[in-house]
Amino acid sequence: MQVGLTDQVALVTGSAHRVGRAIAIELARHGAHIMVHYSSSPPETVRDTLQEIKSMGVDAFAVQSDVGTQEGVTAIFTAVREHFGRLNILVNSASNFQKRQLLEVTLEDWQNTMNTNLTGPFLCTQAAVAMMRENDPSGGVIVNICDKGSVDPWPEYAAHGISKAGLLALTKVSAASLGPDIRVNAVIPGPVMRPSGRYMTDEQWEAVGQKVPLKRNGTAEDVARAVSYLAREDYITGAVLQVNGGEHLI
């Protein structure tokens, strides 16, 4: 059965910009109130995101914290409780995307990546479940944003890929553990946005899309619609939805 998102409360980590922003806006379009989490985005970026979400006729607030620490996660959920008093949807979207081969990864690199990409979602899952089970009736949905490193070796992004493989495992263990009231799914985006922090010409970006069976790149909105779908379909848990133009087939 498909459930409506009107008046539900969603927390989207890493949602001031890029894919997380698109997810927050899409959930707001379906009537959900949004807690925007961010770490280091400029104030004007956060402000613009909040304005666009509120233009959908829903409430939105922002909280800044380090999602890779217990203190940071506590701050996030304290803000959710203070502003909304409840939680229905968690999207673990915040990510550390560092390009480094395995032997180039320092211990600090490793710990920072694991903290943001795996420890953070683990801590957020625990905190979210506690709040979701206060709902009447008890329940909620969690969607984790993975990537190709979750299912295939990704040597160029060694620590990142390993962390995302862990996030996929967390998704499956959570889905098997948290039913029947809480559902947990994952989305694996493909080439939907140019990599941040690295210049890529239009021709280079188009060439990336030509490598997948659909012969084109996707958009952040494609990922956002997948998240919305998983949030609304109440007989899906433990699913992994690949939004990648068939990249997983090559």
Sequence spans of domains, the chain? 9-249
193 alpha carbon, distance to own chain's centre: 14
**Residue that is written with structure tokens 């941040």 in the block:** 196
Q: What is the CATH number of domain 9-249?
A: 3.40.50.720
Structure confidence at residue 197 (pLDDT): 62
DSSP character string of 47-85: HHHHHHHHTTTS-EEEEE--TTSHHHHHHHHHHHHHHTS
The model's pTM is 0.96
CA distance 177 to 172: 9
Q: In terms of C-beta density within 10 A (0-12 exposed, 13-18 middle, 19 or more buried), how is residue 180 classed? A: exposed
- Residue 10: beta bridge partners? 34, 89
CA distance 58 to 54: 5
Q: Which helix (H) or strand (E) holds 63?
A: strand 60-64
Identify the segments of the chain with pLDDT beneath 70: 197-198
**Residue that is written with structure tokens 């709040």 in the block:** 131
Tokens of 243: 């939004």
Per-residue pLDDT tens over the stretch 149-183: 899 999 999 999 999 999 999 999 999 999 999 99
